[in-house]
Chain A
């Protein structure tokens, strides 16, 4: 097959309205949609993969954090929750979030899956049930532990600090081949080492005969009785979102993988679909994240090393996971205290600093996704529960202890109301004793879940265990919205495993 034989369409290729007829329409090309499209194509079905964003290649990446976010993120990377204000992001590009995340791959812990089965009337979602799907995705993407030669000092200091305190830690497993330690995961991997969906599953779906429509914004799911009959929307210009031609894809089955912040909006705009349970858009959960910066006497050179190379799952049952972090300096600077000369002093310390973060399992903190009038962007209502704030404070305290155990001379916890700089583990105790309110924390929420949750009881959930909407015979969801609760670890691998299971179910049923 020559290079031109695949059916990929980009914005400049559309010169008229588009009408396609396929077996399965897959909406969204992130980890859920891309896996589903490839598996369905492998099963011999005619597939249309529909993505609102354009394909990016490294020449389109911007190493500048702000411009990169403005180009690859919905709402220019400025999306935030209301209630408890917390920035959160959703990518808009071929490959979705896999293009601009740090490639962390964790299986959902056994105790989490057991809890899901127990509380949400699920029978086929144990670790054993999901193992073949995790294995297949892991093998395909080459998921493996981050090698030591690209860890960099920033990640290894975390390891050293954990070991000194007897805290379990491990190199992070990632979907990466040939990492060079550039620390540029969030702005796009110029080494092409990250195995993002746009260079793995999507090309394989194309080779298998899938039609891939980029710059195509799905605005409605078309239905007839209990059946979805396809999707429709507009071709939209990259970045501006300006609509041009119309498109319609007729299909025997529809898989929605637009992300847990967009899929419920699409269902709502299509006539409150799949919502007899009243759960569409509800139960929104995040892994709210907090970060601290430790300043060392030695030069850490934090720009070198895997973006996120080490993690600790030691405290998962206590409600938090710890991990190392690197991001473009301006993104890190958001958390730094001070202004004027004091701010510059702290910015100048970045080469001597490491930044580590914690993500919280905050099952009490829930919200909802609401369709915003006249817009396809969602309104995200979410509040950090007052009883969950201490979990994050405890996580920060633990990070501070690890920093000092690794030799840091000071720690900047970034919490309003306590000292901006802590100089010893004793000083850090204030993180565990001072009453911390949600508004005192600088939060970030990049994993979102549960807005179309699976539940064995159709009255309490939107989809069944295979991702099929209870109210429909052929409408499926394959993104993190189907999680019944937050998984306590980074969700991408679980999204892909569940999407694979859903795709096999679709192939078997259609």
Chain B
């Protein structure tokens, strides 16, 4: 009887720790369901809606960006990022968030105010490794946040459209992955080098960064 009860408790605990994550809204390239939930939960607390920049972390699709970044990373870096997500997601099972038993949950299962409190603890910790974990996680989220054209537009930081001169090297360097034989350009395609005309602050923006529909 005791063994069965213990087993049931262990199963319940494992389910609470490792299962029950919501289905991803979009198919992910690299992140697992629980990792997407963690990154979304951090982004929600770190970059909430409203305030000085209208777009939230969720609206900026921070989780999608981190997924793409992890997919583009090499195996060792991918493993390190996964370890970071796992550590942060489950640390609150050992160092609970404020709120008594309600704080004894994995990070992504906490309510937003508890998540904010947890993030603040990591950020201001006296222990350098804890601050380092926070900084790393926040860096991934801000990378994703600033990849959003809407965020960059709202800050007037979107990249400009720039005419790129075609130089001799372009006649020799093919697109990455393509053979040199795929190049069709000739010297007649070369264009004059940059004349050094400063960009204007109101210059047209790079495609994909302008106002939608503009």
Given contacts A76-B77, A350-B157, whether A3 and B146 have CB atoms under 8 Å apart is no
Q: Does A190 contact B (CB under 8 A)?
A: yes
Q: Kindly report which residue of chain B lies nearest to residue A187, judged by CB atoms.
A: B159
- Chain B nearest CB from A230 CB (Å) reads 25
A348 near B174 with CB under 8 A, answer: no
Q: Which of A60, A66, A301 contacts B156 (CB 8 A)?
A: A301
The residues of A that contact B214 with a CB separation of less than 8 Å are: none
The residues of A that contact B155 with a CB separation of less than 8 Å are: 329, 347-348, 350-351
The residues of B that contact A184 with a CB separation of less than 8 Å are: 159
Q: Does A369 contact B (CB under 8 A)?
A: no
A70 near B69 with CB under 8 A, answer: yes
Q: Does A206 contact B (CB under 8 A)?
A: yes
Q: Does A278 contact B (CB under 8 A)?
A: no
Given contacts A85-B132, A182-B160, whether A328 and B146 have CB atoms under 8 Å apart is yes
B198 near A150 with CB under 8 A, answer: yes
Q: Does A219 contact B (CB under 8 A)?
A: no
Q: Does A386 contact B (CB under 8 A)?
A: no
Q: Kindly report which residue of chain A lies nearest to residue B191, judged by CB atoms.
A: A192
Q: Does A64 contact B (CB under 8 A)?
A: yes
- Chain B nearest CB from A229 CB (Å) reads 29
Q: From B3-11, B23-31, B100-108, B161-169, give the one contacting chain A.
A: B161-169
Bitwise interface map of A from 343 to 354 toward B, beta carbon under 8 Å scored 1, else 0: 111011111000
A190 near B164 with CB under 8 A, answer: yes
Distance, CA A238 to CA B12, complexed state (A): 45
- Chain A nearest CB from B144 CB (Å) reads 8
Distance, CA A301 to CA B68, complexed state (A): 30
B179 near A180 with CB under 8 A, answer: no
A56 near B157 with CB under 8 A, answer: no
Bitwise interface map of B from 134 to 167 toward A, beta carbon under 8 Å scored 1, else 0: 0100111011111100001001110110101101
Q: From B33-41, B87-95, B116-124, give the one contacting chain A.
A: B116-124
Q: How many residues belonging to A are interface residues under a CB distance threshold of 8 Å?
A: 77
Q: From A166-174, A316-324, A334-342, A466-474, give the one contacting chain B.
A: A334-342
Q: Does A10 contact B (CB under 8 A)?
A: yes
Distance, CA A66 to CA B198, complexed state (A): 26
Distance, CA A375 to CA B128, complexed state (A): 28
The residues of B that contact A6 with a CB separation of less than 8 Å are: 172
B201 near A301 with CB under 8 A, answer: yes
B177 near A330 with CB under 8 A, answer: no
B76 near A340 with CB under 8 A, answer: no
Q: Does B16 contact A (CB under 8 A)?
A: no
Q: Does A75 contact B (CB under 8 A)?
A: yes
The residues of B that contact A206 with a CB separation of less than 8 Å are: 172
Q: Which of B142, B157, B169 contacts A57 (CB 8 A)?
A: B169
Q: Does A147 contact B (CB under 8 A)?
A: yes
Distance, CA A64 to CA B199, complexed state (A): 19
Q: Kindly report which residue of chain A lies nearest to residue B178, judged by CB atoms.
A: A12
A182 near B176 with CB under 8 A, answer: no
B194 near A193 with CB under 8 A, answer: yes
A63 near B206 with CB under 8 A, answer: yes
Q: Kindly report which residue of chain A lies nearest to residue B157, judged by CB atoms.
A: A303
The residues of B that contact A76 with a CB separation of less than 8 Å are: 72-74, 77
Chain A residues 44 to 86 lying within 8 A of chain B, measured CB to CB, are 54-60, 63-67, 70-71, 75-76, 78, 85
Q: Does A225 contact B (CB under 8 A)?
A: no
Q: Which of B172, B176, B187 contacts A54 (CB 8 A)?
A: B176
Q: Does A130 contact B (CB under 8 A)?
A: no
Q: Does B170 contact A (CB under 8 A)?
A: yes
B52 near A348 with CB under 8 A, answer: yes
Top 6 A-B pairs ranked by shortest CB distance? A178-B194, A348-B52, A439-B128, A66-B143, A55-B173, A12-B179
Residues of A within 8 A of B (CB): 3-4, 6, 8-13, 54-60, 63-67, 70-71, 75-76, 78, 85, 94, 147, 149-150, 177-182, 184, 190-193, 198-199, 202-203, 206, 238-241, 301, 303-304, 328-330, 333-334, 337-341, 343-345, 347-351, 375, 377, 416, 439, 442
**24 A-B residue pairings within 8 Å (CB atoms):** A3-B171, A4-B180, A8-B180, A10-B176, A10-B178, A12-B179, A12-B180, A55-B172, A57-B169, A66-B140, A67-B69, A75-B74, A181-B199, A190-B162, A199-B167, A203-B172, A329-B146, A330-B142, A334-B142, A339-B45, A341-B51, A350-B155, A351-B157, A439-B128
Residues of B within 8 A of A (CB): 45-48, 51-53, 65, 68-69, 72-74, 76-77, 80, 116, 119-120, 123, 128, 131-132, 135, 138-140, 142-147, 152, 155-157, 159-160, 162, 164-165, 167-181, 183, 185-187, 193-199, 201, 206
